[in-house]
Amino acid sequence: MEHADRILVVKSDHTLTLLSHGRAIKVYKVALGRGGPGPKDHEGDRKTPEGTYIIDRKNSRTLWHLTLHISYPDARDKARAAAEHLSPGGDIMIHGVTKEFEYLGALQHNTDWTYGCIALSNPELDEVSSLVPLGTPIEIRP
């Protein structure tokens, strides 16, 4: 399978789509932050951000099986939070599930349970990680 040159997450559809040259190459169902609709406003709101970021690092030594770190917050996010005298938060990732919940497989994305991250099953995350190079843009839409 070809590598993705862009990731599109549509929060209202709970989907993560890998794109190559504008064409969808794979679509996954995802779990999101349990803070409800709307963009991430501040640390602790449990919302998934909205905007365009990049995948800036990967980590295989994590409780979450594997993580693809998203470059949130950007300057706009920081300014918005600062105007409200709040921290924008950080550590937003695409991640898997802990070993104790691996048995759930794809069922893990039937409900929103993260603190603002985007979650896949561990096998799905392995596939996404293999298809997404560092520096890949990710757009997160409402």
How many other CB atoms are there within 10 angstroms of residue 101's CB atom?
16
CA 83 to CA 69: how far, in whole Å?
25
The model carries a pTM of 0.94
Q: Judge whether residue 1 has pLDDT over 80.
A: no
Of 70 and 36, more confident = 70
What class does CATH assign to 6-141? mainly beta
Give just the sign of the alpha carbon dihedral 121, 127, 128, 130.
positive
- Chain segment 36-45, per-residue pLDDT in tens: 899 998 999 9
Domain ranges in the chain? 6-141
Q: Judge whether residue 87 has pLDDT over 90.
A: yes
